[in-house]
Amino acid sequence: MDPRFEHIRDWIFDLDNCLYPASTGLFELIDERMGAYIQRLLDCDAVEARRVQKHHFHTHGTTLAGLIKHHGVDPNHFLDDVHAIPLDRICRDDRLAASLARLPGRKLVFTNGDATYARRVLKAIGVHDQFDELHDIHASSYRPKPDPHGYELLCERFGIDPAAALLADDMAANLKPAKELGMTTVWVDNGSERGSHARGDHIDYQIHSVGGWLEEIIGERE
């Protein structure tokens, strides 16, 4: 193990566009279903639905958070609907599975999605049996990353010592609360974020692929 990570006991990973390549475009399918959901909810056209969707996303962290606050949407109904997508765009990642299997300590998924969808995706990637715990948007009281509340609930729920934990996420902003808690942070810079993102003090490491990075820090097989 790379000595820089020997103190890590809990390895925490985001799911979407992090454990699988952003180039799969999987979230585009979810995005389309969110737009259609809002059209039905508000009886509006696609343009207005898009405006509402993105307003809530940028204001509240997720579209769901805004819909709950302003429209009283049932989160279970919304999540079941928008996550009803085929997963044929995702390929098995045996390289990632092998690296996770060799990684010492607990491995957790921390996602703004829900557990049912997350488990489907993990199975499609072929890594579902490599993770010990999963913390979803329900467990975060519908306060999505980067709201610090979800991070605090995650640590409390699983007895995580932030000083011995690492978070890898493709959204740079999601790493800031983790860093403030004392976690080691890894930005998976794989193109999922548009625009320029300055390397701030809240980002310890910048990588492009979780599987490739894990191979590098774990080292060669004996």
Interval 30-34 mean pLDDT:
95
Domains by residue range for the chain, with CATH: 3-22+89-218 (3.40.50.1000), 26-82 (1.10.150)
pTM above 0.75, yes or no: yes
The tokens 């060669």 sit on which residue?
220
Is there a contact between 209 and 189 (Cβ–Cβ < 8 Å)? no
| pLDDT band, residue 222 (cuts 50/70/90) | very low
Residue 221: per-residue pLDDT: 58
Query: Mean pLDDT over all residues of the chain?
Result: 93
Measured distance between the N- and C-terminal CA atoms of the chain, rounded to whole angstroms: 12
Q: Tell me, what amino acid is at 57?
A: F
Q: Which of 56-70, 120-134, 166-180 has the lowest mean pLDDT?
A: 56-70
Q: Give residue-wise pLDDT tens across range 97-155.
A: 999 999 999 999 999 999 999 999 999 999 999 999 999 999 999 999 999 999 999 99
Q: Where does the pLDDT of residue 61 fall: very low under 50, low under 70, confident under 90, or very high at 90 and above?
A: confident
More confident of the two residues 196 and 113:
113
Stretch 8-34: mean pLDDT, rounded?
95
Rounded CA separation 20/24 (Å): 8
Confidence check: pLDDT of 198 > 60: no
Percent of the chain exceeding pLDDT 70 equals 96
Q: Report the pLDDT averaged over residues 7-19.
A: 97
Banded model confidence at residue 220, pLDDT cuts 50, 70, 90 = low
CB 137 within 8 A of CB 146: no
